[in-house]
Amino acid sequence: MLRAIAALLLIPGILSAGWTLAAPPPAQFRDPPIPGGQQRQRLRVAVDPALGPPYFYTDFRNRTYQGLEWELMQILTTRLNMELHPVYIPWGDQLQALEQGEVDLVLGAREPTGLDQKKFRITRPYLWSLQRLVVRQQDATHIHHLSHLFGRRVGVVVDSAGAALLEAFNRRRGNAIQLFASSQAPRLFQQLRSGQLDALLIDQAVAILHTRDGELQIVGQGLVPTPLVAVTRQDAETLHTLANRAITEIQQDGTWQTLLEAWQLWDPELTTLASAKD
């Protein structure tokens, strides 16, 4: 199933230029304590707080990170009996850093779209994502389908399934939609609220979080079920195997459901996909 959907999403090209500035995390983060003073192997994980809630962001008050993936990283390293070592790398540079050996693992709500299988290994999905259309509350009655986006300014996340879908949609219909791409989802929501964009096509978990205040609304049906995966180097076969095993365990023993419920993101239908074998 994973290979079939990944193949479906392999649509080349890049969207119109957007915003790419990413703020580094605050200094002096401490690694999680090691029980009993025992030394464990470090797992270097690429992180970028600009990814934003609910996946990964900075808690400036407590000088730490927060987010669904931050908690997942901690669970995985505990299961692997390793020490979590976050390494700040802008999202767009993380795969290159992985290839060059600067980090051991990449998450970042990463889709398998276009990943070079000669360089990288992908884990089983830890989550499946839907792409959702988000508009301002006052526009919900007349924008609730892709066909309603003609002539409108629509934001997407760079290299996402939603970006690939709308770019393909545009090719078939003569660039009817004005596309704007950014690696920073929070920035896209700011642009939508201010009226600089008319709609977003974006990950469901992110959409749910940013529409809780009632100013914005999710409309239409979920599109393009897409796996989110962790990525290792191709030569990191042992780490890849262990990460797969740990992801399987937390999906089967209830740990993952508890975590998703805490973030108000539990979706049994999508979780069934994530728990199924490839």
Query: pLDDT value at position 75?
Result: 95
Does 24 score more than 60 pLDDT?
Answer: no
91: left (phi > 0), else alpha (psi -120 to 50), else beta? alpha
CB atoms within 10 A of CB 175: 11
- Within this chain, domains 13-17+130-226 and 39-127+227-275 share the same CATH topology: yes
CATH (residue range 13-17+130-226): 3.40.190.10
pLDDT digits (tens, 9 = 90+) for 54-66: 999 999 998 999 9
**pLDDT tens across 195-238, in order?**
999 999 999 989 988 998 889 999 999 998 889 999 999 999 99
The answer to whether residue 82 scores a pLDDT higher than 90 is: yes
With a CB cutoff of 8 Å and minimum separation 6, the contacts of 241 are none
Question: Which tokens in the block code for residue 203?
Answer: 């990950």
Considering the chain, what percentage of its residues have pLDDT values greater than 90? Answer: 63
What value does the mean pLDDT of the chain take? Answer: 84
Q: How far apart are the first and last CA of the chain?
A: 6
Distances (CA, A) of 187 to 107, 200, 239, 273: 20, 11, 34, 30
Question: If you search the block for the tokens 């609730």, which residue do you land on?
Answer: 144
39-127+227-275 belongs to CATH 3.40.190.10 = yes
Confidence of residue 52 (pLDDT cuts 50, 70, 90): confident
Would you kindly state where each structural domain of the chain is located, as residue ranges? Answer: 13-17+130-226, 39-127+227-275
pLDDT reported for residue 275: 53
